[in-house]
Amino acid sequence: KAGVTQTPRYLIKTRGQQVTLSCSPISGHRSVSWYQQTPGQGLQFLFEYFSETQRNKGNFPGRFSGRQFSNSRSEMNVSTLELGDSALYLCASRQDGNTEAFFGQGTRLTVV
Amino acid sequence: GENVEQHPSTLSVQEGDSAVIKCTYSDSASNYFPWYKQELGKRPQLIIDIRSNVGEKKDQRIAVTLNKTAKHFSLHITETQPEDSAVYFCAAKDDYKLSFGAGTTVTVRA
């Protein structure tokens, strides 16, 4: 079956702009989590959605937001972009509970 | 919230030797501990996981141990091969959140 798909793969934005990233989970997976990956910082948890509800949120400013649709697809939005937002943004989907999280290939965001 | 610490940050081993990565977690409610491998330019992929009711799990050259009392778990790779070179992440899950360590860059020298 198809894996987790993230679009777009690459983005270049200027400071102050806003951006929306998309994640399509594996069919049947209702949980979608978002992570920010930067060199030396590992995978920083942004938020997790399940059945269109945000169940958990990491320690990121309010400029980072997300949502999930009825088909489990999720979007992440970052407003008023800063240079420090440059990173690889990964989403992961899983069935609920203690099951494997499958990652997408990520969206590489560069803020100039 | 959960805090996962991972050591070492880099590890260089001779091909054929063993590699050990250690992680500690803070939340005693965490009950699921996966390990992910990320090769350069690729997505993280699960290599092994362990649940809190199990103390050890092995899959070919890879093994994971869990000490719930001490809140630490470890990844052991035996007979390392060049294809084991990658970044390895440990993680701990409490409720709905999977928290990751900062990663260990493993280099296997031929």
Distance CA(A25)–CA(A19), nearest Å, equals 20
Can you give the pLDDT at residue A97? 76
Q: Say whether pLDDT at A59 is over 80.
A: yes
- pLDDT tens per residue across span B39-92: 999 999 999 999 988 899 999 999 999 999 999 999 999 999 999 999 999 999
Per-residue pLDDT band at A32 (split at 50, 70, 90) = very high
Indicate which of A60, A88, A98, A100 best probes the interface with B, i.e. most B CBs within 10 Å of its own CB: A98
Residue A91: closest CA among chain B residues belongs to which residue? B43
* pLDDT band at residue A1 using 50, 70 and 90 as cut-offs: low
Distance from CA of A93 to the nearest CA of B (A): 11
Which pLDDT band holds residue A42 (cuts at 50, 70, 90)?
confident
Nearest to A42 among B42, B43, B101 (CB): B101
Q: Tell me what the mean pLDDT of segment A77-93 comes to.
A: 97
pLDDT computed for residue B94 by the predictor? 82
CA distance A37 to B65: 26
Dihedral angle sign, alpha carbons of residues B22, B50, B82, A9: negative
- pLDDT given at position B107: 98
Single out the residue of A4, A10, A15 nearest to residue A81, CA to CA.
A15
d(CA A35, CA A2): 21
Residue B96: its pLDDT value, please?
75
Contact B43 A106 (CB under 8 A): yes
- Inter-residue contact B9 to B71 (CB < 8 Å): no
Say how far residue A73 (Cα) sits from the centre of its chain: 11
Chain A residues within 8 Å of chain B (Cβ atoms): 31, 33, 35, 40-45, 48, 50, 55-56, 58, 90, 92, 98, 100-106
Confidence of residue A96 (pLDDT cuts 50, 70, 90): confident
Dihedral sign of CA atoms B61, B66, A92, A87 in order: negative
Instruction: Say yes or no for a CB contact (<8 Å) between B98 and A45.
Output: yes
Is pLDDT above 90 for A47?
yes
- pLDDT averaged over chain B? 95
- The reported pLDDT for the residue numbered B89 is 97
Q: Average pLDDT over chain A, rounded to whole?
A: 94
Which chain B residues are Cβ-neighbours of A35 within 8 angstroms? 100
Max Cα-Cα span within chain A: 39
The share of chain A scoring above pLDDT 90, in percent, equals 88
What distances in angstroms separate CA A72 from CA A4, A31, A55, A68, A107, one per listed residue? 11, 8, 14, 6, 18
- pLDDT attached to residue A80: 97
Round to whole Å and give the CA distance between B85 and B89. Answer: 13
B66 touches A at CB < 8 Å: no
Distance from CA of B90 to the nearest CA of A (A): 10
pLDDT of A2 reads 81
Question: Where residue A98 falls among pLDDT bands split at 50, 70, 90?
Answer: confident
